[in-house]
Chain A
């Protein structure tokens, strides 16, 4: 990491690469620190949008996954729709949503949600359906109904899969927030990137990009931390062992 930044700095100086092509790390640092309170405000705005979209993804994806896993009919009806939401470019959708819903936080959170939720649904459905038939039969032998089977056997089994989806969703939520901010926002790192580029301050734009990368990493780690603390059996062995 350090070597990477050192090489970056050195090549910028040695080859005299101009700032608007690739600014040196020192220039990025300087430009970012100079307006630190502003940058912090934009970071916070982006973080709120990303978190909002992430939470919406969790709240909507998990029940949706359970419905899909519970019934082939629902699955056949809903899955194509989900795939459609994935093939629409979110950049194209964002302005439409903003016109429809107004220039506030709601359309940004919807865009973030649309970018982030899909891998979570897919992961959760995969986990719910990957539950070994022996465990399901154990539940039936204990006279569990369909709902009990879903909540007491399939859902806990799916936890490692859900966390796989959550990690991807956490990283994508940052991407989604920036996409939304590009289109319609007066705050946020996406907005900062746009304005600083139009005012010919590429170093500040690069600074925002670096902060975005860090935010993605931190959110990913936070999910991993939650998994390790609250679901230690999920993170430890990779694949849940069913025994001999």
Chain B
């Protein structure tokens, strides 16, 4: 469904210099597939998502969605950013419904659906709160609800749990998996955490920097539903080791270094 065909992206700096963020990136994501992207920071993961979201144009190659070239933001795509990016002036409910209202897609059921989603995310009773009254984890859940309410067929998540503590993070990954299982959209999920990528994804795309390229795509053979108990399994270890080898390549990094986000 999503297809990147030898996509390149070069940013022109204000001083005239150019940064090649992505080079010859090819990738296909099927409908309903969960794909994680890992790589050191600066290797173009966010740029990749923003290309798929239609927020920036490709410099080379093409991004297509169901065969149509992506030329701008599309209604079937929703994005979750690293920071919750909530509107500080709107309460939780109005934050969640904001994209639909902005796109004039809100109807009589929108508010009920939003309440139902918030309840699933453990935010029942917080509908009328302002973002600043919520913890970081709760704010990020609101942001995820906001994306899901758009009933996207493509969900783009850019280090959505990056700012959360480890416990909240594990809890939220499992919650995300439950929601994804129920709704089955294609997910592109950027993370710094190798265990998180392996646990969540059907496939893990490993990228390397300068310029950003895809160096490997690891198929994760773990059965679903997934849980953190699988971290001990051979398949989990095999995937994690292979990803780590790419990222720490010549530098011989070992152990848990990559876990720290």
Q: Pick the interface stretch among B95-103, B108-116, B200-208, B252-260.
A: B95-103
Question: Shortest distance in angstroms between B33's beta carbon and chain A's nearest beta carbon?
Answer: 21
CB under 8 Å from chain A, chain B span 46-95 = 53, 55, 72-75, 77-79, 81, 83-90
**A55 adjacent to chain B (CB < 8 Å):** no
Complex A-B, nearest 5 residue pairs according to Cβ-Cβ distance, in ascending order: A244-B136, A240-B88, A241-B132, A243-B84, A142-B99
Given A233-B89, A244-B139, check contact A143 B75 (CB 8 Å): yes
The residue from B74, B78, B85, B139 contacting A135, defined by CB atoms under 8 A apart: B85
**A25 adjacent to chain B (CB < 8 Å):** no
Q: Is the CB of A140 within 8 A of B55?
A: yes
Q: Is the CB of B89 within 8 A of A134?
A: no
**B130 adjacent to chain A (CB < 8 Å):** yes
**Interface size of A in residues (CB-CB distance below 8 Å):** 27
> Residues of B with Cβ closer than 8 Å to A?
53, 55, 72-75, 77-79, 81, 83-90, 98-99, 102-103, 130-132, 134, 136, 139-140, 163-164
Q: Is the CB of A143 within 8 A of B163?
A: no
Q: Is the CB of B102 within 8 A of A142?
A: yes
- Extra inter-chain contacts (13) besides given A141-B53, A241-B132, CB under 8 Å: A138-B85, A138-B99, A139-B102, A140-B55, A142-B99, A143-B75, A152-B102, A156-B89, A240-B88, A240-B89, A242-B85, A243-B83, A244-B139
Given A140-B55, A143-B72, A237-B132, check contact A159 B89 (CB 8 Å): yes
**What are 20 of the A-B contact pairs (CB < 8 Å)?**
A134-B81, A137-B55, A138-B99, A139-B102, A140-B55, A140-B73, A143-B73, A143-B75, A153-B87, A156-B90, A233-B89, A233-B130, A240-B88, A240-B132, A241-B131, A242-B86, A243-B85, A243-B134, A243-B136, A243-B139
